[in-house]
Amino acid sequence: MRRLHLAGASLREIADALRISHQRVHQMVEEAGGTPGWKPRRKPPAPACSFCGAVQTDPASLVAGPGVFICRSCVEFSTEAITEAKSLVDEGASAAVATPLVCSFCDRPAAEVEHLLTGPGVRICDRCVRFCTEIVDAYLG
């Protein structure tokens, strides 16, 4: 099939002549090495933490949200930042800020959460930080 295709026959013509699907001919030609100028499928990039940008070689070391990831270090940092922010609130500093931002993990608006930490284009609320901490403790040990 690959030779027929290299000789000029289209994948559809080959499929019609052999009475098989076009997709199957395409798979067979691809398995045989493709054609000149054939671009192999690219491997997807390794997932990276949406907060610090660190690329993780082991995807299991990330906690995933809808299109966002957070690594163990950022979960720990977020937990510390929330603890520090709570102590500031206890001392009388105001933490309430009107903002249209939402958590990148759960889509809760800032007005509905106690704390909202921001990274470069991503945000995580205190509830999601607690949940991610539980995941890190249970699965990533």
* Annotated binding residue 125: yes
* Annotated binding residue 132: no
Residue type at 53?
A: G
Query: Among 27, 18, 119, which Cα is nearest to 75's?
Result: 119
DSSP summary character for residue 14: H
- For the stretch 63-72, what's the b/e string if a residue is b when 16 or more beta carbons lie within 10 angstroms of its beta carbon? bebeebbbbb
Residue 29 burial (10 A CB sphere; 0-12, 13-18, 19+):
buried
Known binding-site positions: 49, 52, 71, 74, 103, 106, 125, 128
The binding site for Zn(2+) comprises: 49, 52, 71, 74, 103, 106, 125, 128
